[in-house]
């Protein structure tokens, strides 16, 4: 099962079998590693925008 879709695959299984369940620790780890792989580019984009905002803001005057 691929990491980034593990929550969706289990959701599909839960709905199909009508069986509620709690994720095993391995599945939780798999979800977090999948999320982090998917999110790393976005995190870097947000942080680099933030750094640029602070840097450029030093020279902008509002009057």
Partner 1 sequence: MSQQTNPRFQLFNFTDREIAIADLAFNMHSQHGQLPRIVPLQNAFAHIASLGCTTIVKQHTVQDPDFFAEYYAYYSRTFGAVDKHCHRLHFFSLAAEHNEEVLDFIDRAAASQSYLGFITIRPVRTSPMAATILCFPPDQHFLLSSDRFVVHIAGKTFSVHGTPFMQQDNAVGACAQASIWMALRTLRKREGNSAFDPAQITNAATRFMVRGRTLPNREGLSVDQMIEAIRFAGYSPHIIRFGSGPGKPLDADQFRTAKRKIYTYVESAMPVVLGVFPNANDGHAIVLIGHKWEANTNPTPYLVRDGLTLYHAADWVTTFITHNDNSGPYLDLPEQLVPGYAYCFDQINFAIPLLPNDVFMSGEEAEQVALIVLAGLLSPASSTGVTPAPKIEELVFRTYLMERSAFREWVINTPNMHPELRKYYRMKVLPKRIWISEISLLSEYNRANAGSLSRVGEFIIDPTGDFNDAPFLSIHLNISAILTFPAGIPAPFTDNSGVIIDRAANGSSIKYILLNGDTAYPPLCRR
Site residues, partner 1 (CB under 8 A): 4-12, 14-16, 18, 20-23, 27-28, 31-32, 34-36, 38-39, 42-43, 46, 49-50, 52-54, 56-63
CA distance 23 to 19: 12
Q: Give me the least distance between CB of 51 and partner 1, in Å please.
A: 10
CA distances (Å), origin 3, targets 8, 19, 29, 32, 36 = 10, 22, 9, 8, 10
Q: Give me the least distance between CB of 35 and partner 1, in Å please.
A: 4
Q: Give me the least distance between CB of 36 and partner 1, in Å please.
A: 6
């Amino acid at each position: 099962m691929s990491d980034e879709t593990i929550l969706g695959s289990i959701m599909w299984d839960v709905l199909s079998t009508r069986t509620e369940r709690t994720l095993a620790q391995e599945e939780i780890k798999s979800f977090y590693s999948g999320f982090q792989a998917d999110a790393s580019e976005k995190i870097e984009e947000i942080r680099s925008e933030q750094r640029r905002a602070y840097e450029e803001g030093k020279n902008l005057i509002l009057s």
